[in-house]
Structure 1
C-alpha cells in the first residue's frame, strides 16, 4: 500500500516538474505559431507607407511558407482583441537612423522597425534569416525551414546600422532579380541615383571628338606638341562652360537623378599644357586640375552630387579639398589581389587615407574578378573581407564591387559572399562559404569547398605571385594551377558530380561551378604544360562540353572585351587543328631581328614551341611595342615549302592591333632573301574593329626549296588619333609559325 502511494507521489512530482519546465520554457520564448494556429496578428502602423505594407506581406508570406499558417495583416487602428502582435514599424519611437534596423520583443510582442522604408524591408529579411534560419542563395534558390511551431527568444533586443550605406555588387543576379537583391540588401543597378548617360568616363560625352576636335583642338589635351582628343584641357574656360551646360541639360532631362559623373576618359593621356602642368605641380598631383575643375562644376549644382574619379593618374590626393557635393570615386584597378590592399597595394592604401583626410564623401570602386578571363580560377576570397573592412575604416559609405556582371568563376558564391560582407564586413567568411556550398550544391558542397580551400592555400605558398585583374591562367601553371593541382581540382569536381548524380538541377550547378577548372585545363592543354595536358583529339570533347555547359547556363562572354564563349570554342578547335597538323618549323631556332618586350619572357622560341596563345596577351604571345616584328626561322636544312602561317592577336582597348600586313621571305643561305608573298590584314583597324580576336596570316606560295624563312609583320607604330591611347606605341603580338 505504502509502495503504491510512493509511486503515485513520484509520478505526480514528475508531472509537476514537466509542467514547470514547459511553463518556464514558455516564459522564455514567444510562440508565433503552434499546432496549426497563431494568436498573433501583423500590425501595420497608421503612419505607414505602401512600402511598409509590402514588407508586412513579405513577412506574412515567409511565415506561411515555414508553418503553413497565414497570419492576418491589419492596420493599427483596426487591431483585434487577439493577445499578441507583430508590429511592422517604429512603434517604440526609437531614434533610428536612415539605414538602421531594429528587432525587439516586448510583452511577448515582436517589433520589427527601420529608419526608412528600405531599412524596414532589410529588417524583415534580417529577422527571417537571423531568427528563423531562412536562406537565399541565388534567384529562385532558397532554403526555408518547415516548422510546426515558430518560437523566438523572449528577450530579443537587436539593432544594427550598416556602416556601408550604398552596397553594390556588379552582378546580373541582382540587377535582373530585384527580389533577390532585396534579400541580400544590395542595389538593383551599378550606378543608382546617377544620370543614365553620365555614369563614368564622361569627358567624351560632354565634348565628343567628332563634334569639337577638328574645329577646336584647344579644348583637348596637349600631348607633346599636339592636341589629342584623349582628355580635356581642364584650364580652358570654354571647356568648363560647355561641361556645365551639358551637366545642366542632363539633369533637366533626368530630374529624378541626383548624381552625375564629371570624370576622365579611360586613359592616362592627360593635358600637359603650361596652365594644367603648373596647377598639377602646385597641387602635387594630377588630381589638382581635376578637383579644381569639378569643384567649379559642383558650385553650379549645390543640390546635386558631382562624382569624379580618383583613378590611375588622378588617384593620388591633391591639396584642394573637394566640395561637400563632390563624390570622390577611388578605384583600385592596379592592385594585386593575392593579399589585402594594406599588404600588397600600400600606395593605394595611402591614397585612401589621403582622400579620407580631405573628404567624407568617398565611393570605392573595387574589383573582384579577372576581367580578361571571367571563368578563370581567381583565388581572391581571402582578400575580400580585409579590403572591405579597410574601406569602411576610412570614410567609405558607398562601395561598388565590380564583379563581372556576367557569370565568372563560382559566380553565385562570389555574388552571395560580396553582398554578405558589404552588409556586415565583420562576418565570418569561412562560415558564409561553408553555408553556401552546402546549401547551394547539397551533397557536392564539401568537394567544392575543398576546391576553394585548396586553391587559396596553394596561392599563399607563392607570396611573390601577382594576382592581376588582367592576367591569365597561364601565369599560374607553376603555382596554384600546376599539373598536379589541376588533377586534384578535376578529382574534386568528378566526386562532386557523382555525389549529386541523381539530382539533375543540383548537378547542373556543379557542372557550371567546374567550368573554371575546365577552362584552366583547356588553357593548360593549349600551352602543353605536361604530358597530361596537351592538345589532342581528346581535347575536342572537353571544349565541346565546356561550350555546351556554358550555353545551357546562358554564359555568353569570356571577358570584358566582348569575346564570346562561341568565339572561344571556335578558336580553340582551330588551335587543335593547328597543333595537330604537320609543322616543319616546330622546335626550330628563331632569331629575332627586332626586339620584343616583356611577354613570353621575350623568348623568340615562343614562335615555334608548340604552345599556342589564347585570347589574352599573357598567354604565350611574343609582343613588340612600337616596332615591327622581324624574325628568321632556321629549318636546319633545305626543305620544300609551300605554306607559311602565323597567328596574331588583337586586343584593341590595350592598343594591341593586328599588323597592317605580313610579308614572308625565303632563303637558302640566310643572306639573300626573296619575297614569297604579302598577306594583308583582312580586317583593317577602325573604330568598330573587333576588340578581342585572333587572325591567322596564311600564305600559299609556289613550292620552293628553302632553309630560312623570314617574317616581317608591320606594326601600326602608334594608336590612331581617335583611339583612347592616341599617340602611344601600339603592339603586335605573334604566336606559332606553321611551315609546310
Structure 2
C-alpha cells in the first residue's frame, strides 16, 4: 500500500513516512487490518490466538492524530492499542474464543492512563530493555519493567511475557542468567501473567547450556515456586552421570556469579578454572561415547569464548606470529567442533561460517595493493585497490584537528597498524569505544591513472568522514553533507573526483578523520583509486571492482 497510500504508514519525527510500521489510528488502516485478521482466522479455524504488533523497529507514528492521543494518554502504547482494540472487537463477534495478542515493546511498554485493553486482548510485555542493560538481575529489580508489569496488571488480567534466555551477540557465551529468569517467573505468576515465552537461539542448536535451560525452565514454568539451583543439580547429575562432579562445580561458579549480578569477565581466573574443570570432566567421560559427546558440547562455549575474547583485543600491528598461530589453532578446533555438533549460528547476525571467515581474514596476511582494468557497462576504467594496511590513532580527546594530524610531515611513528580488509572497525583492532579516530597512508598513484576522472572511492566508513590529501580537506561525508541518516551513512559507499590533486607516479599523503557515534567505528572496507573518462558512481565502482559490503 505504501506507493499509493503513504498516509497509512508511520510518520517519523522528521516528517517522513516510513514503510516499516503503520499509522495505527488511521481509519483505513483499522478497516484493512480488521479484514486481514478476520480472513486469516477464516483460513485457520482452529486458531486460538492471533498477534497484531508493530515491527521490531523503534519509533511511533507522529501524525497529529497519533501524537495527540499518545500525549493525552501519557504513553506511546495508546495508538497501537487503539488499533488492537478495534480489531479485537470485531474478532469477539465472529470468533468469541480467539484472543488477540499485542506486544508491549520498546516505545509501547508502559500502559496508557485511561485506555484499557478489551477482555479478549493479551498484552505481551517484553523484558527487552532491562534484559540487555541488566542481564543478570531479575526484571522486577529494574524500575522501568516493574512499573510496566504492575501498571498493566493493575488494569488488565491477561498479560503474556516475552523473556530472553540468550545473548544475541554471542549465543555461546557463558551467560549466568538462570537465577534471574527463575525470579522473573515467580514475579510473573503474581501479576496476572497467563503465559510466558522464553526465547533462546532460534537459527540452530548452540545456545549456551540450552538443554539444561529448556529442562529447568520447563519445570519452573509448571511451578515457579521451585528453587532453581536444585533443578540444575538434578539435570547435571541425570544428564552427565560420571562426569557430573566437575560440571556441577562449573555451573555453581556461574550461578553464584549471577546471584552477585556479575558476568564471566568479573569471575577471577574464569577461563583457567573452566578449562581445568572440563579437562577433568572429559577424563571422567572417556570410554563412554555418548557421555563424551555431551561433555564436549558443554565445553564448547569455553573454547568459543576464549577465541572471541582474544580476537576482540587482537591488534593486527602488534600481535606476534606465535599468537597468530595459537588463534588459528583455536579457530580450527572451534570450527571442527561446531560442525560435529550441528551448530550453524554463533549469533543472531553471524553464522558459524561467516564468523569464522571474519576471524580467518583477521589472522591472514594483509591484502596487497592491486591494479586492474574493469568495465562499467561500455565504459572502461582502471581500478587501483590500496593495500589494506593503514596507520591508526584513536583520538579520545578530539585534539587531532587542533594539533593538525592531517599535515603531511607529521611524525606518526607511534601510531598503530590497522587493516581495511577485515570487515571490522577499530573496536576490534585496538581502538576502544566511540568517538574520533584518525587514519593515515602514503599512496603512490599508479602511472596508469591518467584519465579525465580519478575517483577516490571508500567502500564504507563508520560513520562520518573527513578526507585530507596532502594536508588539505578534500571531501566530507556526514549526515549534513550527504542527507543520509547515521543508520544508512555507515554502510553507504562514497567517492569524489580527485584528478586535480593526484599526480600519476607521485606519492600523496592520505589522512581520514572519522567520528563514530556508535558501533564498530572507522574504515572497514577497501579504498580504491579509479581512473575513468566516464563519470562513475561509488556503487558502479565497487561493483566493477568486485567489492561487496558484508553489512548490506
Q: What's the TM-score, normalizing by structure 1?
A: 0.53
State the match for 1:733 in structure 2.
521
Q: 1:484-633 counterparts in 2 under 5 A?
A: 484-528=269-313, 535-561=323-349, 563-578=350-365, 608=416, 631-633=437-439
1:285 aligns with 2:86: no
1:339 aligns with 2:160: no
State the secondary structure of the residue aligned to 2:521: strand
1:216 aligns with 2:2: no
CA-to-partner distance for each residue in 1:591-623, whole Å, 9 max, x for gaps?
96999xxxxxxxxxxx94779999899766979
The equivalent position to 1:257 in structure 2, one of 7, 25, 47, is 47
State the match for 1:451 in structure 2.
250
CA distance 1:624–1:334, change in 2 (3 Å): same
Q: What is the CA–CA distance in structure 1 between the aligned matches of 2:392 and 2:270, rounded to whole Å? A: 28
Q: Tell me how far 1:374 sits from its aligned partner.
A: 0.7
Q: Tell me how far 1:348 sits from its aligned partner.
A: 0.4
Gaps of 5+ in 1: 1-211, 468-475, 596-606, 649-656, 679-684, 716-728
CA distance 1:624–1:449, change in 2 (3 Å): closer
Q: What is the CA–CA distance in structure 2 between the aligned matches of 1:440 and 1:383, rounded to whole Å? A: 23
Q: 1:269-308 counterparts in 2 under 5 A?
A: 269-302=59-92, 303=96, 304-308=98-102
State the match for 1:317 in structure 2.
111
Q: What is the CA–CA distance in structure 2 between the aligned matches of 1:411 and 1:293, rounded to whole Å? A: 37
Q: 1:159-178 counterparts in 2 under 5 A?
A: none
The equivalent position to 1:328 in structure 2, one of 123, 137, 141, is 123
Q: Tell me how far 1:371 sits from its aligned partner.
A: 1.1
CA-to-partner distance for each residue in 1:492-538, whole Å, 9 max, x for gaps?
11221112122122111111111211111002221348999994212
Q: Tell me how far 1:585 sits from its aligned partner.
A: 5.4
The equivalent position to 1:241 in structure 2, one of 15, 31, 49, is 31
Q: How many residues align?
A: 452
Q: Tell me how far 1:290 sits from its aligned partner.
A: 1.9
Q: What is the CA–CA distance in structure 1 between the aligned matches of 2:425 and 2:194, rounded to whole Å? A: 35
Q: What is the CA–CA distance in structure 2 between the aligned matches of 1:233 and 1:588, rounded to whole Å? A: 46
CA-to-partner distance for each residue in 1:254-280, whole Å, 9 max, x for gaps?
111121111111112211111111111
State the secondary structure of the residue aligned to 2:184: helix
CA distance 1:714–1:310, change in 2 (3 Å): same
State the secondary structure of the residue aligned to 2:116: coil
Conserved 8 A contact 1:222-1:272: yes
Q: What is the CA–CA distance in structure 1 between the aligned matches of 2:42 and 2:117, rounded to whole Å? A: 24
Q: Tell me how far 1:663 sits from its aligned partner.
A: 9.5
CA distance 1:583–1:394, change in 2 (3 Å): same
Conserved 8 A contact 1:663-1:712: yes
Q: Tell me how far 1:306 sits from its aligned partner.
A: 1.1
CA distance 1:218–1:664, change in 2 (3 Å): closer
State the match for 1:38 in structure 2.
none
Considering only CA atoms, is the larger Rg found in Structure 1 or Structure 2? 1
CA distance 1:431–1:364, change in 2 (3 Å): same
State the match for 2:58 in structure 1.
268
CA RMSD in angstroms, aligned pairs only:
4.5
Q: What's the TM-score, normalizing by structure 2?
A: 0.70
CA-to-partner distance for each residue in 1:298-332, whole Å, 9 max, x for gaps?
11111121111111111101122211111111111
Conserved 8 A contact 1:385-1:425: yes
Q: What is the CA–CA distance in structure 2 between the aligned matches of 1:294 and 1:444, rounded to whole Å? A: 52
State the secondary structure of the residue aligned to 1:710: strand
CA-to-partner distance for each residue in 1:187-243, whole Å, 9 max, x for gaps?
xxxxxxxxxxxxxxxxxxxxxxxxx11211111112232222232222211111111
State the secondary structure of the residue aligned to 1:514: helix
CA distance 1:709–1:245, change in 2 (3 Å): same
1:381 aligns with 2:178: yes
Q: What is the CA–CA distance in structure 2 between the aligned matches of 1:532 and 1:506, rounded to whole Å? A: 38
Q: Tell me how far 1:435 sits from its aligned partner.
A: 1.8
Gaps of 5+ in 2: 369-386, 402-414, 447-456, 478-483, 496-502, 528-552
Q: Tell me how far 1:443 sits from its aligned partner.
A: 2.3
CA-to-partner distance for each residue in 1:515-565, whole Å, 9 max, x for gaps?
21111100222134899999421222211111111111111011223x211
Q: Tell me how far 1:389 sits from its aligned partner.
A: 0.3
CA distance 1:438–1:372, change in 2 (3 Å): same
Q: 1:629-668 counterparts in 2 under 5 A?
A: 631-633=437-439, 667=470
Conserved 8 A contact 2:439-2:511: yes
1:397 aligns with 2:194: yes
Q: Tell me how far 1:733 sits from its aligned partner.
A: 3.3
CA distance 1:632–1:312, change in 2 (3 Å): closer
Q: What is the CA–CA distance in structure 2 between the aligned matches of 1:647 and 1:673, rounded to whole Å? A: 16
Q: Tell me how far 1:713 sits from its aligned partner.
A: 7.3
State the secondary structure of the residue aligned to 1:328: strand
State the match for 1:163 in structure 2.
none
Q: Tell me how far 1:714 sits from its aligned partner.
A: 11
CA distance 1:383–1:357, change in 2 (3 Å): same
Q: What is the CA–CA distance in structure 1 between the aligned matches of 2:418 and 2:233, rounded to whole Å? A: 41
Conserved 8 A contact 1:218-1:227: yes
1:432 aligns with 2:199: no
State the secondary structure of the residue aligned to 1:632: strand
The equivalent position to 1:711 in structure 2, one of 499, 509, 512, is 512
State the match for 1:102 in structure 2.
none
Q: Tell me how far 1:402 sits from its aligned partner.
A: 0.9
Conserved 8 A contact 2:462-2:523: no
CA-to-partner distance for each residue in 1:411-444, whole Å, 9 max, x for gaps?
1111111111111112232221112112212222
Conserved 8 A contact 1:337-1:380: yes
Q: What is the CA–CA distance in structure 2 between the aligned matches of 1:448 and 1:395, rounded to whole Å? A: 37
CA-to-partner distance for each residue in 1:57-84, whole Å, 9 max, x for gaps?
xxxxxxxxxxxxxxxxxxxxxxxxxxxx
CA distance 1:445–1:414, change in 2 (3 Å): same
State the secondary structure of the residue aligned to 1:572: helix
Conserved 8 A contact 2:138-2:183: yes
State the secondary structure of the residue aligned to 2:189: helix
